[in-house]
Amino acid sequence: MSTIRRAYRQLHDAYGPQGWWPAATRDGVADAWEIAVGAVLVQHTSWKNVLRAIASLEQADATSVAAIGAMERDRLAALIRSAGPPRVKAERLQALTAFLVEEFNGSIDSLLEGVEDRRVAQRRRTQLLGVRGVGPETADAILLYAGGAPLFVVDAYKRRVMRRHGWDDAGAKYDEVATFWRRRLPADAAVYAEAHALLVRVGVEHCRSPRPRCEGCPLQSLLPPGGPLLEGVAEKTE
């Protein structure tokens, strides 16, 4: 079994299914649009702050594509300020709503139709990357978690685990890192979704910055003989 598959198995054995998406305000289940909103809002902030922002939108009865798109920018910024910087996030949300209206008649379901097929997923990804404020991590999170697209989300947690274990080039370009993981895991969107969630969890609980907490970490047995590699490439996000 490859090291990456072992890592996945050990994380899964230790933590169990993560049941992502983490920013679901209604009965623990997020719909596709809520996932997209959360994927934009979580850029450079925590899920806790995202949940507060989405709760504010719900209280204002302003969660739909149409409502967010039509809202005055300052008002939207005020509602989502917990996930700041609010004006930047408001602008990005409205860029996404404008894109959906222009290209998909305002329907996220139309955007996601057929994305289980990798070629369709890649086309939609390219379109999403043309939206202001949507980078590869955000686009892949939307397509994977809202649409079941076979895409792999790369983030700083993943790069940090890779770097400390000496797995491939943790500082490589986004798409190269995504390909590294996809090629070593079963070709299954559900596995990609679970793997991302598990790696976020190990990053939050153990593989922290600036120092890892390797004692008791599910990936401790996969460390290099001398322990984690702490020097090297700078962390990159999108």
Binding site for ligand SF4 (CB under 6 A): 161, 164-165, 202, 206-207, 212-214, 217, 219-220, 223, 228
Smallest separation (angstroms) from ligand SF4 to the CB of 39: 24
Smallest separation (angstroms) from ligand SF4 to the CB of 44: 22
Environment class of 119 (CB within 10 Å of its CB; exposed 0-12, middle 13-18, buried 19+): exposed
Q: Which residue lies nearer to ligand SF4 by CB, 14 or 67?
A: 14
Q: Nearest CA to 21 among 35, 42, 6, 7?
A: 35
Smallest separation (angstroms) from ligand SF4 to the CB of 183: 20
Contact 177, 170 (CB under 8 A): yes
Q: Which residue lies nearer to ligand SF4 by CB, 111 or 207?
A: 207
Angle at 164 between CA 205 and CA 19, to 5 degrees: 35
Smallest separation (angstroms) from ligand SF4 to the CB of 235: 13
- Is it true that the peptide bond before 225 is cis, omega within 30 degrees of 0? no
Q: Under 8 Å CB-to-CB from 54, ≥6 apart: which residues?
A: 23, 25, 34, 37, 38, 41, 63
What single-letter DSSP state applies at residue 70?
H
Q: Which residue lies nearer to ligand SF4 by CB, 48 or 213?
A: 213
Q: Which residue lies nearer to ligand SF4 by CB, 115 or 199?
A: 199
Smallest separation (angstroms) from ligand SF4 to the CB of 203: 8
Contact 77, 122 (CB under 8 A): no
Q: Which residue lies nearer to ligand SF4 by CB, 67 or 223?
A: 223
Smallest separation (angstroms) from ligand SF4 to the CB of 132: 34
Q: Which residue lies nearer to ligand SF4 by CB, 89 or 165?
A: 165
Q: Under 8 Å CB-to-CB from 204, ≥6 apart: which residues?
A: 157
